[in-house]
Amino acid sequence: MRKRVVVLGSTGSIGTQTLDVIDQNPDSLEVVGLAAGSNEPLLLEQAARFGVKNLALHNPSPSGLPSGMDAILNLVRHEAVDVVVVSVAGVIGLLPTIAAIEAGKHIALASKEVLVAAGELVMPMLKQNGVTLTPIDSEHSALFQCIQGSRHDQIESLILTASGGPFRGKKRADLLNISVDQALNHPTWRMGGKITIDSATLMNKGLEVIEAKWLFDMRPDQIEVVVHPQSVVHSMVKFRDGSVLGQMGWPDMRMPILYALQYPERVPNNLKPWNPVDTPTLTFEPADDETFSSLRLAKQALEVGGTMPCALNAANEEAANAFLRGEIGFLDIPEVVERTMQQHRPEVPTLENITRVDQESREFARKVQTTV
């Protein structure tokens, strides 16, 4: 039986790579639904290529495709769906993730913002509904693979690796006049715009720390970050006997996507396997969360808890996108996030509170942006 897959965010970096993986595995995977934000021409091209009839666009559709959040939720809930790939950029993936859980679909999650804003809400829902969530983020895929067969109490800590982004080794003074093009020039990964900016500020690693907390039920002090510029060791798990297991591979998202879709199987594929002799030097160094204060802010938000990570995420989505549009400077991004966090009074993270805090934090961040 082929797994019937819906891809949310099919026109993006993860979405298009997911379709490549499905294309390469026609015996075990089949795409049955596609959704995007506004890129209708590419969505229609993908639909024709894969013979998919069930489509949804978040923005109004010029050609009359089903559109809006309800259209996306209907796609997810369709009975002829086994797996939902959530790979939209941002917390906009939250409602479809919840709908997929309630409908009992396996979730392959790329949109880390969903767990950052609502991990406390989503994780118990998975348990209640008996739903499996496999992470697509390469670091969390590595951790997920390393802990297979281990008990939770055997895990001492998680070690998340970070490439360090394009500004590794730089100090604040070097970051004053960073252009959008410089920030988009990631040394090892080719990704969508927002996550590439998050990688340059190290907010991406901060979001991943929060994501790891929820996925693996860890205390904040059990999650370490090390900079590993080669992006070959995707992350590591330290066990209580001192053993450390890591997962290695070339920086190619198709590998964690394949694993997330095929779990618990491992299937042969045409991806280039990693060979240790091709990477003789693997280096590790501490992360600089003074220069890259977004990482520090994310850890703070996690310590505070409640809706604080939701406020952090909302402000960061607004600020990163404002930087991409050329409206604010690179160092203004953590400034906007910090000021938004300072005015936020954390609440219990119910869906209602998360939805409101997300909106209010975005509004506040947009106002602050004009003053930084």
Listed ranges 121-129, 187-195, 261-269, 336-344: which one lies at the site for ligand NAP (CB under 6 A): 187-195
Binder of ligand NAP out of 5, 18, 55, 58 (CB under 6 A): 58
Binding to ligand NAP by residue 50, rule CB under 6 A?
Answer: no
Asked if 186 is part of the footprint of ligand NAP (rule: CB under 6 A), the reply reads no
Asked if 253 is part of the footprint of ligand NAP (rule: CB under 6 A), the reply reads yes
Q: Rule CB under 6 A: choose which of 33, 37, 119, 306 binds ligand NAP.
A: 37
Tell me: does residue 13 bind ligand NAP (CB under 6 A).
yes
- Site size toward ligand NAP, by CB under 6 A: 29
Q: Does 234 bind ligand NAP (CB under 6 A)?
A: no
Asked whether position 189 contacts ligand NAP by CB under 6 A, the answer is yes
Q: Under the criterion CB under 6 A, does residue 39 sit at the interface with ligand NAP?
A: yes
Among 19, 32, 36, 47, binds ligand NAP (CB under 6 A): 36
Q: How far is the CB of 35 from ligand NAP (least distance, A)?
A: 6
| 195 scored as a contact of ligand NAP (CB under 6 A) | yes
Query: In the block, which residue shows the tokens 């000021």?
Result: 339
> Which one among 19, 22, 85, 110 touches ligand NAP, defined by CB under 6 A?
110
Residue 11 found at the interface with ligand NAP (CB under 6 A): yes
By CB under 6 A, tell whether 164 contacts ligand NAP. no
CB 149 within 8 A of CB 243: no
Does position 120 bind ligand NAP by CB under 6 A?
A: no
The answer to the question of residue 15 lying near ligand NAP (CB under 6 A) is yes
Indicate whether 109 belongs to the interface with ligand NAP (CB under 6 A): no
Radius of gyration of the chain measured on its C-alpha atoms = 20
In the complex, which residues of this chain contact ligand NAP (CB under 6 A)? 9-15, 35-39, 58, 87-89, 92, 110-113, 137, 189, 191-195, 253
